[in-house]
Chains A and B, each alone.
Chain A
């Protein structure tokens, strides 16, 4: 069975601090896809990134960066110089059956609160 663990339930930082969200996953598949989503108070899921298991390159997009380490089954997410608008719940997810568009197993989510 697939499993995604986000050990941090809530993180509180002051604006401009960096924040790293941990994600550890379990799967028997050799090919899989990992995702990060942001869920602001409105509830709508905002897609942030998708990474397949063969691509271990770290990625940076603006203030966001991701560190994929297959050896430790982790896919961590860092927000650099956090802003109040970054306050949201962030979910890490794993797709099943080796297909990027297939059903997702979500982690428990990490609530990020950025204080001014």
Chain B
């Protein structure tokens, strides 16, 4: 299947700094990518839908100024956690949608996740 990468896999930062997480689709183009967040021992919650060339669509309760999403190309979406605080510590997982209308296939591939720890 298709491959989605995330970088970094793990990051530790100080409170107040900003952290950028990259999500790349390695062998397909993704007009849509999704960002999920997972607290320890909890489920995955969708944060936002990232659309190439346009603004991201945020889920209710997610601060768009806090979690900046940029989908500048068909293979890259970035999530920037601005002015991070300890409560932002979490596991962030992205996914990329591989939609091939001509072939009638529509599949979401997940990245390996990024573990963010804010001290």
Return B18 CB to nearest CB of chain A, in Å.
23
Given A45-B110, A101-B106, A102-B97: A108 and B43 within 8 A (CB)?
yes
Asked whether B44 lies within 8 Å of A103 as measured between CB atoms, the reply is no
- Interface size range on A against B: 20 to 34
Query: Does A99 have its Cβ within 8 Å of any Cβ on chain B?
Result: yes
**Which A residues are within 8 Å of any B CB, using their own CB?**
37, 42-45, 47, 91, 95, 99-109, 111
Q: Can you list 9 A-B pairs with a CB-CB distance of less than 8 A? A: A43-B112, A43-B115, A44-B112, A45-B110, A91-B44, A102-B106, A103-B49, A104-B108, A109-B42
Return B33 CB to nearest CB of chain A, in Å.
10
Return B70 CB to nearest CB of chain A, in Å.
18
Asked whether A43 lies within 8 Å of B44 as measured between CB atoms, the reply is no
* Binary per-residue interface labels of chain B (70-112) against chain A in the complex, 1 for a CB within 8 Å, 0 otherwise: 0000000000000000000001010001110000001110101
Asked whether B107 lies within 8 Å of A100 as measured between CB atoms, the reply is yes
Asked whether B110 lies within 8 Å of A44 as measured between CB atoms, the reply is yes
Asked whether A101 lies within 8 Å of B98 as measured between CB atoms, the reply is yes
Query: Does B34 have its Cβ within 8 Å of any Cβ on chain A?
Result: yes
Asked whether A44 lies within 8 Å of B106 as measured between CB atoms, the reply is no
Return B90 CB to nearest CB of chain A, in Å.
11
* Binary per-residue interface labels of chain B (59-70) against chain A in the complex, 1 for a CB within 8 Å, 0 otherwise: 000000000000
Closest to A4 in B: B43
Closest to A96 in B: B46
Asked whether A43 lies within 8 Å of B91 as measured between CB atoms, the reply is yes
Given the complex of chains A and B, what is the CA–CA distance between A79 and B44 in angstroms?
Answer: 23
Which one, A42, A44, A103, A109, contacts B43 given CB within 8 A?
A109
Given A43-B91, A91-B43: A101 and B107 within 8 A (CB)?
yes
Closest to B46 in A: A103
4 other A-B residue contacts (CB within 8 Å) besides A42-B112, A102-B108: A100-B107, A101-B32, A101-B99, A101-B108
Contacts of B46 in A (CB 8 A): 103-105
